[in-house]
Amino acid sequence: MAGSVSCELVINAPASSVWDLIKGLKLAAAIEESFTHLIEKIDAVGDGSVGTELNIKFKPGTVPFSYYKERFTKVDNESMVKENEVFEGGYCDLGFSKYFVRFEIVKKDENSCIAKATTEYELKADADPNLASLVSVDQMMGVLNLAANKVVNGSK
């Protein structure tokens, strides 16, 4: 079983400012700082370019797994697209054969943009099909809203 969910958010800030937060490690730092009720720690190996790995550790009892690792598979500064794939723990351990997130920033005008997020997933053949319910637009909207607030309010 495969599927995808996506969402978008208009952000009243220049596309370049939003992309600056999304493209590398600043987003991971903002998530770690802002979602302290869920996240225990995010460790990064790499500089935010393709190949960078994040080890995201969750607080006990907050999500159905203790950690997952994801790798940046695409960071395209020209088209403002970033792609990450979970490769260990978390969704992989639950029965997903693929869990992939794409962020895309589209310029509307000089002072606004559209931030899009898409999660694509596939379940292993023997996985419970109800696992697909773990893939939610809410997670991505939380990240997009965080990015919008960080950029619009000027907080670092």
* Tens digits of residue pLDDT in 4-60: 999 999 999 999 999 999 999 999 999 999 999 999 999 999 999 999 999 999 999
Work out the angle at residue 140's Cα, subtended by the Cα atoms of residues 139 and 144, and round it to the nearest 5 degrees. Answer: 125
pTM (global) more than 0.95: no
With contact defined as beta carbons under 8 Å apart, do 114 and 13 qualify? no
Catalytic hit among 23, 69, 82, 150: 82
3-class DSSP assignment, residue 132: helix
Mean pLDDT of 76-105: 97
The answer to whether the CB of 152 falls within 8 A of the CB of 11 is: yes
- Respond yes or no: is residue 82 known to be catalytic: yes
Homologous superfamily (CATH) for 2-152: START domain (3.30.530.20)
